[in-house]
Amino acid sequence: MTDFLDQAKACPVLGPAAADTTGGPQVSGYVAYARMDDLHSLAVPQTEAPQELSFILLSHVKEILFRMIYVDVDQARKQLRANDAGLACRALERTVRTQRILVTTWESINSISADEFLAFREILGTASGIQSYMYRTLEFALGNKNPAMVEMISGSMDLYPELSAELAGPSIYDEVLRYLARRKFAVPDSLCDREFREQYAGDQRVEEVWLTIYRAPDRYPEEHRLAELLTEVSYQFSHWRATHLLVVERKLGSKPGTGGTEGVDWLRAVNDHRFFPELWTMRTRL
Ligand code: HEM
């Protein structure tokens, strides 16, 4: 215990903040470093409904996890650009671990029953997760380029420069294909230099590339590891969507969403989308 306290004094996070020269109350190092006071001040329920605070806190948790995942996807993309598949895979391993945490956060929302949710749903007005610019930035970074979804986000695109940049630039999958082309796999040039703003639909020739790798994993161990991690990222993303759909059906049945869609039917259609499509379709031919 004493050891821990000694270490804590030397730690920039746990140790005490620098002396307060104003004579005001002191904020400890942990609270000051990560601005915990600011963080906690953000969760402000607008009704007396006891579950509203949990709902807001869980929405914050999810946003933070979207961002953590985005940071690692971006890292993986940078490492691929630098031809370091090993470091790209490390970043994708972190991505997947955080995605698993994200999926389990639905458990807490499930503890709010349909009637408890309805006690504060009205206060949401037209607010919906569909307007999450961090979620959309992550989707674009992974390759689901659907510019129409940007219109769902209130405010101008200029408010979110990262979102605009992600729409215009190469996704991680574009960088994977370029990396494979540099490694002399038969990825067509037209795919390496395509209009990145457009939705990538999948290509038979890329399916052939993945088949080559999966038919000889001992010959292409690094590419095979990369493919498995990408598949896991895609799987975890779809897992999140599928669980969200179930949670929504459990709360709302077939009521329309606050964001303007018909609700579960719309989400069901979204559930059909797969990131890195040829990694899924090639399985039929393997
Ligand atoms: C009781 C809980 C929830 C319900 C009933 C619910 C309901 C819905 C519905 C109906 C939609 C479709 C769009 C619309 O018309 O609103 C939607 C979309 C969405 N929700 Fe939720 N939601 C819940 C919790 C959350 C939470 C906590 C988050 C995370 C912050 C979230 C993130 C999203 C996202 C990102 C979309 C857009 C999905 C896409 O574009 O593929 N939802 N939600």
What span, in angstroms and rounded, lies between the C-alpha atoms of 263 and 253? 9
HSE (CB half, 13 Å, CA atoms) of 55? Answer: 23
Buried residues in 90-112 as b, exposed as e (16+ CB within 10 A): bbbebbbebbeebbeebeebeeb
Taking 60 as the threshold, does the pLDDT of residue 8 lie above it? no
* Pocket lining for ligand 1, CB < 6 angstroms: 58-59, 62-63, 109, 117, 128-130, 132, 135, 149, 244, 247-248, 251-252, 257-261, 263, 266-267, 270
Q: For the chain, which residues make up each domain, given as ranges? A: 1-41, 51-285
On whether the CB atoms of residues 118 and 51 are closer than 8 A, the answer is no
Q: Copy the structure tokens of residue 89.
A: 């895979």
State the pLDDT confidence band at 21, using cuts at 50, 70 and 90. Answer: low
CA-based diameter of the chain, in Å?
72
94-117, pLDDT tens digit by residue?
999 999 999 999 999 999 999 999
pLDDT tens-digit series, residues 123-179: 999 999 999 999 999 999 999 998 888 877 766 677 788 898 999 999 999 999 999
Question: What does pTM read for this prediction?
Answer: 0.92
Candidates 3.40.720.10, 3.20.20.10, 3.20.20.70, 1.20.58.480; CATH matching 51-285: 1.20.58.480
CA of 110 to the centre of ligand 1 (A): 14
Q: What is the distance in A from the centroid of ligand 1 to the CA of 51?
A: 17
Q: How far is CA 211 from CA 98, 178, 192, 217, 227, in A?
A: 29, 17, 19, 10, 11
Strands (E) across the chain are located at: none
pLDDT at 4: 45
pLDDT tens-digit profile of 185-229? Answer: 999 999 999 999 999 999 999 999 999 999 999 999 999 999 999
Distance 58 CA to ligand 1 centre (A): 12
Question: What spacing in Å lies between the alpha carbon of 284 and ligand 1's midpoint?
Answer: 32
